[in-house]
Amino acid sequence: MLNYIFGGMIVLSVICAIATGNGESLADGIISGAKSSVELLVTMSGMMLLWSGIMEIASRGGFTAVISRLLSPLLMRLFRNVPKDSKAMNCIGMNVSANLLGLGNAATPFGLSAMGELKKLGGEGDTATDDMVTFVVMNTASIQLMPTMVGVLRQSCGSAQPFDILPCVWISSAAALTVGLVIAKVLR
């Protein structure tokens, strides 16, 4: 997919530049684009490293498990076919909690084992069960307390208060998740 997008973007811009006589600014654009992408990486690297370090402390202390316990009443309501205290429920809880904390790298392995467990519960075949759909929809809608990447990017681009958007992010993602889950339920 990205292969076509990347190729398409470049071919389209070259054709467009020739057609509109923007050749010179296109050449400048290539150089400044490559340069500014590296500048961006350097400016955001400090915060990225700091944040990864802080979150490693959280994850070694078992912060994810604490959040997972808090969420379990809610999750049990969403996944009625999944037994309480089963491995599937545990993996789902850890995946959702890790996502909530912005630990994407930690969330994926839990999510993959949750899918494996859900498949055991839901019989064989190549068709998704209702619980699988619900679970993947939860993972396609981001529920994050602290969107670090966005905050860091905003700061490197000169924002006065990079995290002033947090309430908006929380409201929007909660709304998006709710709509996703409702639709997943309605279309069953």
Give how far the C-alpha of residue 182 lies from the chain's centroid of Cα atoms, to the nearest Å: 20
The least CB distance from residue 111 to another protein, in Å, is 6
**Residue 147-166 contact track with another protein, rule CB under 8 A, x = bound:** x-xxx-xxx-xxxxxxxxxx
Site for another protein in 114-143 (CB under 8 A): 115-116, 118-119, 126-128, 132-133, 135-137, 139-142
Rounded Cα–Cα distance for residues 30 and 25 (Å):
9
Q: How far is residue 120's CA from residue 136's CA, in Å, rounded to a whole number?
A: 16
Count of residues touching another protein (by CB under 8 A): 100
> What phi and psi values does residue 77 have, to the nearest 5 degrees?
-70, -35
- Among 71, 78, 121, 146, indicate the residue that binds another protein (CB under 8 A): 146
Determine how many CB atoms are found less than 10 A away from the CB of residue 6.
10
Site mask for another protein (CB under 8 A), range 49-88, x = bound = xxxxxxxxxxxxxxx-------------------------
Stretch that binds another protein, among 71-79, 80-88, 107-115 (CB under 8 A): 107-115
Site string for another protein, 9-48 (x = CB under 8 A): xx-xxx-xx--x-x--xx-xxx-xxx-xxx-xx--xx--x
Asked whether the beta carbons of 141 and 180 are under 8 A apart, the reply is yes
Judge contact between 106 and 69, C-beta under 8 A.
no
